[in-house]
Structures are given as C-alpha cells and as structure tokens.
Amino acid sequence: MGSKAVRNPVTEEHAREFEQHVSHWQQVLGMADWRLHRKPSRCGPYMAVVDSIEPEHRLARYRIGKDWGGTPVTSYSLSRVALHEVLHVFLYDLIHTVSVHGKEGEDCLTQEHRIIHTLEPLLCPPDSQPPTT
C-alpha cells in the first residue's frame, strides 16, 4: 500500500515562522496571560490543532501539520492558520463559561464583552472611516 504524495510540506522553518505568527496574534488579541507552546510532534490530517488547553495554568499546546494538502505554505497561510488556532484559545473562556453557566449567565456576558472589546478596535480602528452604504 503506497502513501500519498506530499503536496505542500511544512518545513521546520515554516514551523518557526508559524510560532512567530502565533506570538503576534496572541499579542494583538491581548492574551499576555496565556502561554502558547508548540509541541514538537506533528499532527496528522490537520493544518494545525490545539491539543490541550489548561485554563488554570493559562497554558495551551498546539501542533502543526506535516502537509497542508491543497493549501500552499506561505507567510499569509501560516499567519491565517496561526490566527485560527489562537482564536480557539481566545474563545475558550467564553465557550467554557457557556457550557458551565448557560448563555444567560453574568459570567458569559463578561466573557462575551471581553471578546467584543478586543475586536472593536481591531475591526474599526479609531482613525478609520465608517463604511458607506
């Protein structure tokens, strides 16, 4: 039985760049209280995956795939996938709060507003013009 050909391999250099993108998005999203660590082992069919989140330690571990299949490995795709994985950690507190307290709880509203207050200046910077309709 033959193995599939590698179409878009992720090199160690790519993995190091991915780590830099993770750090960038972590900073942009105001997640200085989290430690995000790359595991050395690679994940199978995924571009990247957050393997574990330990909220009590503010620690998350992630792995990067070996082959991104039909997606070319570029600085943009590395950044985009890194953002995707960081957002999983960013949203963890909200998802956990909803699962424990339900969507109507005060804790859920607090977590929701934390996300909104982070995204507002990113999506609508103070010096930007409002969109025209």
Report the CATH number at residue 32: 3.30.2010
Euclidean distance between CA atoms 51 and 40, whole angstroms: 12
What pLDDT was estimated at residue 126?
A: 79
What pLDDT was estimated at residue 108?
A: 80
Domains contained in the chain, number: 2
Give this prediction's pTM: 0.83
- Asked if residue 119 and residue 66 are part of one domain, the reply reads no
Residue 15 lies in a domain: yes
Q: pLDDT tens digits, residue range 67-122?
A: 999 999 999 999 999 999 999 999 998 888 888 877 777 888 888 888 989 988 88
- Asked if residue 21 and residue 45 are part of one domain, the reply reads yes
- Asked if residue 75 and residue 36 are part of one domain, the reply reads yes
Q: Which of 11-15, 42-46, 107-111 has the highest mean pLDDT?
A: 11-15
- Asked if residue 17 and residue 70 are part of one domain, the reply reads yes
Residue 1 lies in a domain: no
Residue 65 lies in a domain: yes
- Asked if residue 97 and residue 71 are part of one domain, the reply reads no
Residue 48 lies in a domain: yes
Residue 37 or residue 95, greater confidence: 37
- Asked if residue 83 and residue 38 are part of one domain, the reply reads yes
What pLDDT was estimated at residue 130?
A: 64
Euclidean distance between CA atoms 94 and 100, whole angstroms: 10
Average the pLDDT over 45-66 and give the result.
96
- Asked if residue 82 and residue 41 are part of one domain, the reply reads yes
Range of the domain at 110: 91-125
- Asked if residue 118 and residue 75 are part of one domain, the reply reads no
Q: Does residue 23 carry a pLDDT above 90?
A: yes
- Asked if residue 62 and residue 29 are part of one domain, the reply reads yes
